[in-house]
Amino acid sequence: MTAAPSLTQTEHWQHQGADHMLHPFGDSGAIGREGARIITRAEGVMLWDSEGNEYLDAFAGLWCVNLGYGRQELVDAASKQMSQLPYYNLFFKSATPPAVELAGALAEIAPKHINHTFFTNSGSEANDTVLRMVRRYWDLQGKPEKKTIIGRHNGYHGSTVAGASLGGMSPMHAQGDLPIPGIAHIRQPYWYGEGGDLSPDEFGLLAARALEEKILELGPETVGAFIAEPIQGAGGVIIPPKTYWPEIERIVKRYDLLLVVDEVICGFGRTGEWFGSDYYGLTPDLMPIAKGLSSGYLPIGGVMVADRVAEVFKISGGEFNHGFTYSGHPVCAAVALENVRILREEGIVDRVREETAPYLQAQLQTLADHPLVGEVRGVGMLGAVELVQDKASRRRYPEEGRVGTLCRDYALAEGLVLRATGDTMLMSPPLVIKPAEIDELVAKTRRALDQTLAQLQKEYPAGA
Ligand code: PXG
């Protein structure tokens, strides 16, 4: 009898995962059959899997590893705090040094009118907190009927019940009877996909005015807030035309809504400013944050609260019946504080704005001449490359999403991690990526585009 061949370490992990783990946003059955890629190590902008393959992580994990991998200072901050006080909470009149110091540091970097933070463990929890805060705020203002929050189709605000409801992802809504009541959605400012013959500026105004129409349809006395990402991330790095945000701000003021600007992706230097709100000159009332707050080294998020809202909570609010065991967890807060210190002291946000982002954007634009590419767009360290069958009409290949997945898989084989949303390739590299690494990112993307095109040309011969 021959002995069963022993499993390699990789196969062992793949089998364990297949047998015992369900994946977020994944088909666990299919992943289990194929075998997950097991990532074991990272440094700077590079990742390695358990087979020793190397990848340039053009996606910073999930839009979050702003400082890049392997920063020993963050490890030391966690270790020191773990030894001193691994856990205590912010309930029952308690606080911890890292939590209050982080709140102070955040007030220094946020827009001037924002000086308070309510801590959570993730962006989703931040947006659940937003829903509670908006409703509590209007209760305290004597307007409890101002309950409805308006979000946008194809916006992303997380995967908890409130987060997924505020977001406008129809595949998420379809699973679980969402959105919950009291949430409405308007169109997104996606000029390339939906602008037709309008100029970007005309379309920006049209998309913003959908907010006014929705408020009037619902009755202004019932609408409490509007929530949006400065630039949609998961939805496809959708950069609103320049007319969009000023018109939104006008409408929000006119109908006395709270403006919630979801900074989970755009915050902490991603746009070349500290916050997307700085990039667009916005005055948010609530600002959910997460991801780049700790560069993803530990889970932490929060809602930053404008003075006019914080005052209402502090002066007339009494007890706010909301919070999490790990709100402001001291180890996570210590790591976030160190992350913010490094971003500031190393001038990383300025460097993105002045050097790295202009270089990334210029290099990405060199892909625009590729036959598969309909549009290249980006801001700061965010980029998107739209793949189409016909550039002039912006027509996509049949089976939307397949070409994006094909290109993503070719990129992986080239040693590059990109994300595909439908047939749009997305990038969001660590802010510390160097020019030579940007060159590699763009060269590998081009090779993945070439291979995708070669495959498509076999399937769709010219003239067919
Ligand atoms: N708001 C925004 C704008 C986000 O992008 C969340 C809230 C929720 O954060 P948490 O920490 O609960 O995940 C996010 C998260 C993707 C992808 O594939 C995007 C996110 C999360 C996971 C995957 O693009 N964004």
Whichever domain contains 260, its CATH number is: 3.40.640.10
The reply to whether 123 and 228 lie within a common domain is yes
Give yes or no for residue 464 having a pLDDT over 80: no
- Residue 309: give the domain boundaries: 72-345
Return the pLDDT at 415: 98
Compute the distance from residue 301 Cα to the ligand 1 centre, in Å. 11
Give yes or no for residue 191 having a pLDDT over 60: yes
Q: Which residues pair with 426 in a beta bridge?
A: 384, 419
The alpha carbons of the chain give a radius of gyration, in whole angstroms, of 23
Q: What is the pLDDT of residues 300-323, one digit of tens each?
A: 999 999 999 999 999 988 899 999
The reply to whether 285 and 362 lie within a common domain is no
- Tell me the pLDDT band of 462, cut-offs 50, 70 and 90: confident
- Mean pLDDT over 274-299 rounds to 98
Residue nearest to atom 18 of ligand 1 (CA): 234
| pLDDT over 70 percentage in the chain | 98
Cα within 13 Å of Cα(412), Cβ side: 11
Angle CA 219–223–228, to nearest 5: 130
d(CA 430, CA 44): 8
Give yes or no for residue 106 having a pLDDT over 80: yes
What's the token pair of residue 451?
């291979």
Sign of the torsion angle spanned by Cα atoms 103, 107, 111, 116: positive
d(CA 348, CA 363): 20
Give yes or no for residue 359 having a pLDDT over 80: yes
Q: Which residues pair with 302 in a beta bridge?
A: 119, 289
- Tell me the pLDDT band of 6, cut-offs 50, 70 and 90: confident
Which residue has 């705090």 as its token pair? 81
The reply to whether 255 and 355 lie within a common domain is no
The reply to whether 239 and 182 lie within a common domain is yes
d(CA 133, CA 3): 62
Angle CA 155–69–61, to nearest 5: 25
**Domain termination site, one of 299, 327, 345:** 345
- Mean pLDDT over 282-290 rounds to 98
The pTM is what? 0.97
**Domain termination site, one of 301, 324, 345:** 345
C-alpha dihedral (422, 352, 242, 252), degrees to nearest 10: 90
- Mean pLDDT over 170-183 rounds to 96
Return the pLDDT at 3: 55
d(CA 336, CA 202): 41
**Domain termination site, one of 285, 313, 345:** 345
Return the pLDDT at 4: 59
Q: What length does the chain have?
A: 464
The reply to whether 153 and 179 lie within a common domain is yes
The reply to whether 170 and 206 lie within a common domain is yes
Q: Which atom of ligand 1 is nearest to the CA of 426?
A: 24
Give yes or no for residue 258 having a pLDDT over 60: yes
Give yes or no for residue 432 having a pLDDT over 70: yes
Total count of domains within the chain: 2
CATH number at residue 434: 3.90.1150.10
Ligand 1: lining residues by beta carbon, under 6 Å: 62, 122-124, 127, 156-158, 163, 229, 233-234, 262, 264-265, 290, 301, 419
Cα within 13 Å of Cα(327), Cβ side: 20
